[in-house]
């Protein structure tokens, strides 16, 4: 540990300990000690087992499924650190759940992304470090500083190593156009866009493919794979339009509901995700074409820079050394 990192404490919630261990490893520090236990009625109590008075505290927890439990654990952790007189508290949220309800699509519905932002600040977070927020404008829901890190350097490093010569970057919906364009610029590919219409939380209809994929290698870029509807339907559409090979790159592998079956049946050569969300064993075992890249070094470096008041935005185009991918599942997690 370097001298200027001595004042830093990094705690990891229970949702993604494998990522927490890797981040702590990158930082060269031991994780902060805490005891989490449940009362008989299921309520949580967290006891920090070291003095954090006046220290720069980072608390990591992705708020993926079970979203309510993981969010509540993070809020309790933050409250605990605030009452223990931390100098500054940064909530490190590799996957920010509830983000897709970021506006009222119809009357009498909530805006849960804003609610979560309010809860984090009220609990005592002084700043937030997130990765690939579903929509960039969610940053504006917070009145505290937000660093929205992108997993792009990690995914790009993997796809760049493939040295594709005939690449078309496909955005599976309008929301991902900018992301796909950045990949197209870096990987020197062409662009195509799918005109997607969501008809329910699990069903989508793809109406058109704008651009040409015939005889090409397709790389489809998304922020989240949840029920797999977007990914599988888009892959089928690309195949129907003559794509030669189909790769998918997404930051958050949420894999819920019918995702596994849909992805098994889709014409996809490789699905590359990151470890922001812990990979369920069942998913890892069922998807032979799954590659998981770790964002630990990237997140660890962002934490180090926040602590030292260095620039975080310069990490967006970073070519720092990322871990090699592991195929199928995270062996450290099994
Ligand atoms: C949509 O706006 C997102 O970028 C993803 O395409 C979507 O959330 C994926 O969800 P699913 O896998 O359920 O289609």
Q: Which two tokens stand for residue 311?
A: 């620039």
- Residue 173 Cβ < 6 Å to ligand 1: yes
pLDDT at 200: 82
User: Half-sphere exposure of residue 194, counting CA atoms within 13 Å on the CB side?
Assistant: 33
Residue nearest (by alpha carbon) to ligand 1 atom 8: 224
CA separation for the pair 154, 317 (Å, rounded): 10
> Does 227 contact ligand 1 (Cβ within 6 A)?
yes
Of 22, 178, 196, 280, the active-site residue reads: 196
Residue extent(s) of CATH 3.40.50.2020 domains in the chain: 3-149, 153-293
Is 175 near ligand 1, meaning CB less than 6 Å away? yes
- CB of 170 within 6 A of ligand 1: the answer is no
| pLDDT of 24 over the 50 cut | yes
Give 310-316 contacts, CB < 8 A, sequence gap 24+.
Answer: 312/147, 312/149, 315/149, 315/153, 316/149, 316/150, 316/152, 316/153
Task: Look up the CATH number of domain 3-149.
Answer: 3.40.50.2020
Query: Residue 248: CB within 6 Å of ligand 1?
Result: no
Q: Is the CB of 172 under 6 A from ligand 1?
A: yes
| Alpha-carbon gap, residue 254 to 226, rounded angstroms | 5
Ligand 1 centroid to 104 CA: how many Å? 17
Residue 270 pLDDT > 60: yes
Q: Which fold would CATH assign to domain 153-293? A: Rossmann fold (3.40.50)
Residue 333 has a pLDDT of 46
pLDDT over 80 at 43, yes or no: yes
CA nearest ligand 1 atom 10, residue: 226
Contacts of 24 (CB under 8 A, 6+ apart): 10, 12, 30, 31, 300
For the Cβ of 232 lying below 6 angstroms from any atom of ligand 1, the answer is no
Measured distance CA(33)–CA(320) in Å, rounded: 29
In short, whether 224's Cβ falls inside 6 Å of ligand 1 is: yes
Alpha helix stretches (DSSP H) within the chain: 17-27, 67-83, 112-123, 152-160, 177-187, 229-240, 259-265, 281-286, 296-308
Q: Which atom of ligand 1 is nearest to the CA of 233?
A: 14
- Distance in Å, CA 70 to ligand 1 centroid: 21
Tens digit of each residue's pLDDT (9 = 90 or more) over 217-264: 999 999 999 999 999 999 999 999 999 999 999 999 999 999 999 999
- Segment 309-314 mean pLDDT: 90
Per-residue pLDDT, 287: 96
- Indicate which atom in ligand 1 lies nearest the CA of residue 229: 14
What is the distance in angstroms between the CA of the first residue and the CA of the last residue of the chain?
A: 28
pLDDT in tens, 140-169: 999 999 999 999 999 999 999 999 999 999
* For the CA of 227, the nearest atom of ligand 1: 13
For 318-330, the three-class secondary structure string (H helix, E strand, C coil) is CCCCCCCCEECCC
- What percent of the chain clears pLDDT 70, i.e. is strictly above it? 93
Give the residue carrying structure tokens 């995914």: 155
Q: Average pLDDT in the 117-132 region?
A: 98
Determine what percent of the chain is predicted with pLDDT higher than 90.
87
Structure tokens at 183: 């990949």
For a ligand 1 pocket test, name from 225, 252, 266, 271 the mutation site with the most ligand atoms within 8 angstroms of its C-beta: 225
pLDDT at 326: 62
Please state the atom number of ligand 1 nearest to the C-alpha of residue 228.
12
Tell me the per-residue pLDDT of 182-201, one tens digit each, with 9 for 90 and over. Answer: 999 999 999 999 998 888 88
Structure confidence at residue 150 (pLDDT): 94
- Ligand 1 centroid to 81 CA: how many Å? 34
Instruction: Report residue 4's pLDDT band, with 50, 70 and 90 as the boundaries.
Output: low
Query: What pLDDT shows up at residue 105?
Result: 87
Write the residue with the smallest CA distance to atom 6 of ligand 1.
Answer: 230
Q: Which two tokens stand for residue 334?
A: 């099994």
Check residue 60 and give its pLDDT: 98
**136: CA distance to ligand 1 center in Å?**
15
Give catalytic status of residue 165 as yes or no.
Answer: no
List CB contacts of 104: < 8 A, sequence separation 6 or more: 111
- Residue 315's pLDDT band (boundaries 50, 70, 90)? confident
Binned at pLDDT 50, 70 and 90, residue 322 comes out as: low
Q: For residue 324, what pLDDT band results from cuts at 50, 70 and 90?
A: low
Split at pLDDT 50, 70, 90, the class of 334 is very low
Give the distance (Å) from ligand 1 centre to CA of residue 202.
9
Distance from the alpha carbon of residue 170 to the mean position of ligand 1, in angstroms? 14
Distance from chain centroid for Cα 138: 14
Pairing of strands 245-253, 217-225: parallel
User: For 67-120, how does the pLDDT look when each residue is reduced to its tens digit (9 = 90+)?
Assistant: 999 999 999 999 999 999 999 999 999 999 999 999 998 999 999 999 999 999
pLDDT score, position 112: 98
């Amino acid at each position: 540990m370097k001298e200027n990192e001595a004042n830093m404490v990094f705690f990891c919630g229970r949702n993604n300990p494998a990522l927490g261990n890797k981040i702590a490893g990158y930082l060269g520090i031991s994780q902060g000690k805490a005891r989490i236990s449940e009362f008989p009625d299921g309520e949580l109590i967290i006891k920090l087992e070291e003095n954090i008075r006046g220290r720069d505290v980072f608390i990591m927890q992705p708020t993926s499924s079970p979203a309510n439990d993981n969010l509540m654990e993070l809020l309790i952790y933050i409250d605990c650190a605030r009452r223990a007189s931390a100098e500054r508290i940064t909530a490190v949220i590799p996957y920010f759940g509830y983000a897709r309800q970021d506006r009222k699509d119809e009357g009498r519905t909530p805006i849960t992304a804003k609610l979560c932002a309010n809860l984090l600040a009220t609990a005592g977070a002084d700043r937030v470090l997130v990765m690939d927020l579903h929509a960039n404008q969610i940053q504006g829901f917070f009145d505290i500083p937000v660093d929205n890190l992108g997993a792009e350097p990690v995914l790009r490093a993997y796809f760049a190593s493939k040295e594709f010569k005939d690449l078309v970057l496909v955005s599976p919906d309008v929301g991902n156009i900018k992301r796909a364009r950045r990949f197209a610029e870096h990987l020197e590919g062409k662009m195509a866009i799918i005109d997607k219409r969501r008809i329910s939380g699990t069903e989508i209809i793809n109406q058109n493919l704008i651009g040409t994929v015939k005889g090409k290698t397709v790389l489809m870029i998304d922020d989240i794979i949840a029920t797999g509807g977007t990914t599988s339907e888009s892959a089928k559409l690309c195949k129907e339009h003559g794509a030669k090979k189909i790769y998918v790159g997404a930051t958050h592998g949420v894999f819920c509901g019918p995702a596994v079956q849909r992805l098994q049946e889709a014409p996809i050569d490789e699905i590359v995700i990151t470890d922001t969300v812990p990979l369920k064993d069942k998913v890892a075992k069922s998807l032979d074409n799954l590659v998981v890249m770790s964002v630990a070094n990237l997140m660890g470096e962002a934490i180090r820079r926040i602590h030292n008041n260095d620039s975080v935005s310069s990490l967006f185009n970073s070519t720092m050394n990322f871990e090699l991918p592991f195929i199928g599942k995270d062996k450290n997690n099994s």
